[in-house]
Every structure is written in C-alpha cells, then in structure tokens.
Structure 1
Amino acid sequence: MDIKQIQDLIRFVSKSGVNEVAIEQKDFKITIKTTGEQTIVHHATASVPLQAPALPAAAPAPAAEPAAAVVDATNYITIKSPMIGTFYRSASPDKPLFVNVGDEIKSGTVVCIIEAMKLFNEIESEVSGRIVKILVDNASPVEYDQPLFLVEPI
C-alpha cells in the first residue's frame, strides 16, 4: 500500500462516519481510528537489517545515550519511517516518552508518533528487542524510509 492509497483511505474513513478500520496484508498493517477531534493511524511495516553505510552521516546522538557509545549497526534491525512528517517521541510534551535507549520492546509496541498533514500516526515496532539507539531528535522532520531506531533482536 503506497502513501496515496493510505491518504485516500484516511479521507474515506473520516467522511464515512466509521470509527475504526483495520487492514492487514502480508508485510503491512494499518489501523485508522477516528474521533470527533482527530484521526489516529497505527501503521506498521516489516523492518529489514540496516547496513552500516545506510546510516545518515549527521545523525544526532540523543541525550539519554552516553556520547562515547559506538554502535555497530550490522548486528541490529532498524525501524524506519513509513512516511514523511514530524517525529515525536511522546504523545504530547507532558506525556512520558514512548521508548528510551535500553528499553525492551515487543512487536506492536508504539515507539513514536509521526505527524503528517495534521494526522498523528502511531508507529509500531514489527520486531521484539532492545532499543540500542534513537537516530532522530524529537520534533524533527523525517523522510520516508529514514532510519528512526536501532533494535537489538532478543
């Protein structure tokens, strides 16, 4: 399912009056929930191992991780952005972060939110493991397929 189909589906659900729609395919799952105030999209895709050269050269280190830590990306799985938007580590500034470095996650765990076109899309992990590195700063713009997290499989 491409971004155009997702946008069309979101518009359809918003206009139809349906409260929730879930679609699951081979390596893709999306759930769209609507309320009177906002539409929330839960989106998950299969992740693939990250190759070392694919890391962005200017990836900032998060404050929660020691500056001296060096991560060998070849042994980890990456969680990538499924869309263009703004990356948020929590649901709102006064809410706790979804995940931190060192946290263990399971498949289906919400790891962040990406805001696109005034829609807040919860991004779920497709893998179980431990968060090793967060590759994006909070409230930063992200591109489609941009690495967001490195996960050590368990």
Structure 2
Amino acid sequence: MDLKDIQNLIKFVAKSGASEVKLETEDVKITIRTGSDDKETTTYVQQIPVNAPVAQAAPAVAQPVAPAQAPAAAAPATNADDSKYITIKSPIIGTLYRKPSPDKPVFVEVGQTIKEGDVLCIIEAMKLFNEIESEVSGKIVKVLVDDSSPVEFDQPLFLVDPS
C-alpha cells in the first residue's frame, strides 16, 4: 500500500465520520483513529509491518534518504560503534515534533528505557498528526533529529539499544 492509497483512505474515513478504522493486508496493518474536539478533527495513522522487518543498511549520519515504497521499520545500523543498536526510522515525510504540545515535556529522552508501543514522537503531514510508536524495546541511545525539523521517508530518527 503506497502513501497515496493511505491518504485516500484517511480522506474517506474523515468524510464518513467513523471514529476508528482498521485495515490489515498481508504486509501492512493500518489503524486510523479520528478524535474530534470543538474546533477540528485530528487523525492518527499507524502503519505497522505485519511480517518481520528486513534488515536494511542505515546511513552512519542522519541524512535525508530518497523515498521508497516499503514501510519504514527498525533496522540495525552499519557503523561499527552502532552495530548493536537498532535504528528507528521515519515511516512518512513531514515535520517531527518530540513533544505532544509546546508546553509539555518530550516523549523520550536519551537514556530512557522504552517498550514496544511507546510513543517516541509525532510527525505532522498535511495537518495530520501521526504518533510514531516504537517497534522494539530497549534504551534510547541517541536522538538523531531536532524538534520541529522536517524529516524524509526512511530517515533515521532514534538509536535504541535492545539489550
């Protein structure tokens, strides 16, 4: 399922008035939740690879990576110092926010222990705020992206020590 299909699905769900839609195919599981307040509707999209992630080489330095069609997954880093760490990558293009709102603390700090499903950050794309959840448990070793900065698809965001 490509980004255009996901965007069309989000638009359809928003127009239908449904509060939650789950879609599961052979290779992708998508959950779209809409929660409305008095002023606007916020949609959260979570795209989870169903099959085990395939190991991919990650750049040693955080750099934008050309867009691809496969969903982002945690992959081991290739740098000798970082070989034991898992890289959490951006599943979409957008603006990364490390805090739920400007007056709140960041979701995760370096040295913090996380578990699978913990929210690491939010990426805003087309006025939709997408919570990025951890696919692994471990300890945050390094944050590779600054708050409120643009990110590319498959760009490394966090290094996690799974031990």
CA RMSD in angstroms comes to 2.3
Report what 1:10 is aligned to: 10
Contact 1:47-1:127 at 8 Å conserved across structures: no
Counterpart of 2:75?
none
Q: Which runs of 5+ in 2 are unaligned?
A: 65-79
1:18-69 CA deviation, whole Å, 9 max, x = no partner?
10112345664332111232212234446565646x133679xxxxxxxxxx
Query: In the alignment, which residue of structure 2 is the partner of 1:137?
Result: 146
Q: Which has the higher helix share?
A: 1
TM-score, reference length from structure 2: 0.77
Q: Does the 8 Å CA contact 1:112/1:122 hold for their aligned counterparts? A: yes
> Does the 8 Å CA contact 1:50/1:73 hold for their aligned counterparts?
no
Query: Does the CA-based 8 Å contact 1:20-1:32 persist in structure 2?
Result: yes
Contact 2:62–2:144 (8 Å) recurs in 1:
no
Q: Does 1:118 align with 2:127?
A: yes
Corresponding residue to 2:61 among 56, 59, 75:
56
CA distance 1:58–1:5, shift in 2 (3 Å)? closer
Over 3 Å counting, the alpha-carbon distance change for 1:47 and 1:130 in structure 2 is farther
| Count of aligned pairs | 142
TM-score scaled by structure 1?
0.81
1:56 is paired with a residue of what secondary structure?
coil
Matches of 1:26 and 1:128, distance apart in 2: 24
Residues 110 and 140, structure 2, Cα contact 8 Å, conserved in 1: yes
Structure 1 vs Structure 2: percent identity of aligned residues?
A: 63
Q: Which moved more, 1:15-24 or 1:120-129?
A: 15-24
CA distance in 1, matches of 2:63, 2:20: 39
Gapped regions of structure 1 (runs ≥ 5):
60-70
User: What CA deviation, in whole Å up to 9, does each residue of 1:77-135 have, x standing for no partner?
Assistant: 11100010000001111112111101111111110000000000000111111110000
Match of 1:39 in 2: 43
